[in-house]
């Protein structure tokens, strides 16, 4: 961390919260200009808190992507909720993201209740406006004004980039003077090892159907440059809860695992800027989501939050 504060330099922490699947991680990746958080059309994709750092000439914004807020059903769900809620208190600004198509539902009301006890300024970000007619937007914004006294209400498309620059301008206006927390070339607080396992999990999420997503964890076993070659050997294990799920992940004659590996390798090569040899294994570990010790092994470390 750098401690000297330049006069006029602004910085701050900005938490992105909202129901699962509204586009929080998509927004983070767009702002950072690099894929640091995985995205999928399945709810509850993000499991850990992920920081993305945007450094401009006179401002540094540290965005915190959080797991979607929902009512927890198991230990992993509890953990994800805690992470999302704890970030609210300490940040300089909260971006409350909603899906323009779906509007305010019970999920949003549930989150609004949590806002009653905090003083942090909140922007309402209406995402996915590419999915609606422009005429529908104004009435939508008006209806949200009655829900809560948001500091700003800003419609965007995280996917296509509409209005994202304007949102960044508004964020800057609300940030206090402060130090540059991270070096200018650092885009995330998470190590490459973590992002690699997430990229593998993302491909598995994309390629499998409903029953699989939440039963999945990925552990990195090994990452080393091969002697005398310009290639990095990555070995990882996909953990599932049941034998039947193992079968699905492996697929007919290994075809599914092969496809997951093929797609993940492309992203990992982009991340590392090197050729990659990716070796994937699958293992059954019954009921891992309810066992705290295993959650820790898989990188869900409660003490960090
Ligand atoms: N049409 C459209 N789709 C979007 C937009 N932003 C995100 N999406 C899609 O919405 C889905 C969910 O996106 P994510 O970024 O994973 O959502 P999230 O809020 O991080 O979800 P969780 O991590 O599960 O809480 C993906 O399929 C995205 O492609 C947008 O602006 N327009
Ligand atoms: Mg996410």
Tell me the pLDDT tens digit for each residue of 220-266.
Answer: 999 998 888 889 999 999 999 999 999 999 999 999 999 999 999 99
Ligand nearest the Cα of residue 155 is: 1
What average pLDDT does this structure show over 167-193? 91
**The residue to which tokens 């929080």 are assigned:** 24
Residue 28 within a domain: yes
Inter-residue contact 205 to 37 (CB < 8 Å): no
Residue 251 belongs to domain with CATH number: 3.30.300.20
Nearest to 268 by CA among 38, 52, 72: 38
Domain that holds residue 139: 10-174
Residue 24 within a domain: yes
Residue 1 within a domain: no
Does one domain contain both 296 and 159? no
Residue 185 within a domain: no
Check pocket membership of 11 for ligand 1, CB cut-off 6 A.
Answer: no
Ligand 1 atom nearest the C-alpha of 46 is 23
pLDDT given at position 305: 34
Ligand 1 pocket: which of 18, 39, 155 to mutate (most atoms <8 Å of CB)? 39
pTM: 0.81
Does one domain contain both 169 and 205? no
> Which of 1-5, 122-126, 175-179, 214-218 comes out lowest in average pLDDT?
1-5
Q: Is the pLDDT of residue 6 over 70?
A: no
Residue 22 makes CB contacts below 8 A (sequence gap 6+) with: 68, 97, 98, 99, 127, 128
Does one domain contain both 80 and 15? yes
Give the chain's domain count: 2
Does one domain contain both 158 and 259? no
Does one domain contain both 91 and 154? yes
Ligand nearest the Cα of residue 26 is: 1
């Amino acid at each position: 961390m750098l401690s000297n504060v330049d006069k006029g330099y602004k910085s701050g922490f900005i938490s992105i919260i909202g129901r699962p699947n509204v586009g929080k991680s998509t927004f983070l990746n767009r702002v950072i200009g690099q894929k640091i958080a995985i995205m999928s059309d399945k709810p509850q994709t993000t499991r850990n808190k992920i920081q993305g750092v945007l450094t401009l000439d006179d401002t540094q914004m540290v965005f915190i992507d959080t797991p979607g807020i929902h009512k927890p059903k198991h230990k992993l769900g509890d953990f994800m909720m805690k992470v999302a809620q704890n970030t609210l208190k300490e940040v300089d600004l909260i971006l409350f993201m909603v899906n323009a198509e779906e509007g305010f539902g019970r999920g949003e009301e549930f989150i609004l209740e949590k806002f009653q006890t905090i003083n942090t300024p909140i922007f309402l970000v209406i995402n996915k406006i590419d999915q609606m007619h422009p005429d529908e937007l104004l009435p939508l914004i008006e209806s949200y004004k009655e829900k809560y006294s948001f500091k700003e209400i800003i419609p965007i498309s995280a996917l296509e980039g509409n209005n994202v620059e304007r949102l960044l301008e508004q964020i800057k206006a609300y940030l206090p003077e402060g130090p540059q927390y991270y070096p200018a070339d650092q885009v995330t607080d998470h190590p490459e090892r973590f992002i690699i396992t997430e990229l593998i999990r993302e491909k598995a999420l994309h390629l499998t159907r409903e029953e699989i997503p939440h039963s999945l964890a990925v552990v990195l076993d090994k990452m080393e440059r091969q002697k005398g070659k310009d290639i990095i050997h990555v070995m990882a294990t996909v953990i599932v809860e049941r034998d039947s799920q193992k079968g699905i992940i492996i697929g007919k004659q290994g075809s599914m695992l092969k496809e997951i590996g093929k797609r993940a390798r492309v992203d990992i090569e982009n991340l590392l800027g090197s050729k990659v040899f990716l070796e994937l294994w699958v293992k059954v570990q019954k009921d891992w989501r309810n066992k705290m010790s295993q959650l820790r092994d898989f990188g869900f470390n409660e003490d960090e939050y």
